[in-house]
Amino acid sequence: MNHGHTGPKSLRRSVSAPRADRSRVLTSHYWAMPATPIAIQLPQRSNFDKKEIAVYLALKHIHLTFVALSLLTFFVRGIWLFMNSSMLSKTLVKMLPHVINTILLVSGVVLAVHLRMSPGDQPWLMAKIVGLIAYIGLGVAAFKVPNPNARKLLWVSALIVFAYIVSVAVGKNPLGFFS
């Protein structure tokens, strides 16, 4: 039975937007932190197509899945690095992070394009991109430098930057956990 909702129960339409143009937004309380709904701006229209909502949800779930896989592979590889494990020399262990991170990056770009988001218009998105560049640099350095103490410092720093990127994405605030 349809009670006026065109998508999953957790999706609600709202005509009030945080921006001055009062454009329609898709608000999802499912991904929201307590008392903080996440509003995603969709193209201005009077209705939202079920297919658009399904594509958005699929892209978001793919992106979030690969965020988790990226963190997991980086964390495990770091532990193996500190244990001097032979696992790091395995071909699959060397290739898998590149595949995971490529899918993560592509899904993020496709999601932003689908939602018509631009880093120039969304400061939090620009903060994620800058954080991503820092995370990549720190992560690469953590596996390249010969000094074990420097490796640990770089690895932990990369994990902190990763946490910052996630906090920016969740809060839609460029300051992330610093706010």
The 10s digit of each residue's pLDDT in 73-114 is: 999 999 999 999 999 999 999 999 999 999 999 999 999 998
Does 178 fall in a domain?
A: no
- What phi and psi values does residue 113 have, to the nearest 5 degrees? -65, -45
End residue of a domain, out of 48, 69, 85 = 48
Domain residues for 66?
50-172
Residues 23, 41 within the same domain? yes
22-to-10, 16, 51, 96, 100 alpha-carbon distances in Å: 22, 6, 24, 44, 38
Is 0.85 topped by the overall pTM? no
Residues 17-64 have pLDDT tens digits of: 444 433 344 444 333 333 344 455 554 544 568 888 888 899 999 999
What pLDDT is attached to residue 48? 65
Coil, helix or strand for 4? coil
Side chain identity at residue 84, one-letter code: N
DSSP letter at 3 equals S
Does 79 fall in a domain?
A: yes
